[in-house]
Amino acid sequence: MKNYTLNEIVVCPNPFDSVASIEMKFEKEQKVSIELMVSDGTIVKKLFKGEVAPDCTYHYDLDGSEMSSGRYFLKVLTPDHLDFHKIDLIRD
């Protein structure tokens, strides 16, 4: 795990009801794939696929207006690591 290069994932607010802000920062330049999926592994949205630069903060606004209430998982894949972060969408 010495090559684990994701500094942090911040989802705010979490849980959310309409839009969640996702911020990520990586330690080195690398290829990254970021997808939103449900618990059975079905991909709901592909958020990003490409190269990231070191020490840059990446921002994505997740629009949940056409999504159902429930638990989702942010899947972050790099050549060295696979990470999941749970995100909850709660409608009033």
| In the chain, where the domains are located | 6-89
pLDDT on residue 4: 45
pLDDT on residue 3: 45
Closest among 73, 88, 65, 66 to 15, alpha carbons compared:
88
Q: Return the CATH superfamily for domain 6-89.
A: Macroglobulin (MG2) domain (2.60.40.1930)
Closest among 56, 8, 66 to 36, alpha carbons compared:
66
pLDDT for 78-91, tens place per residue?
888 898 999 999 98
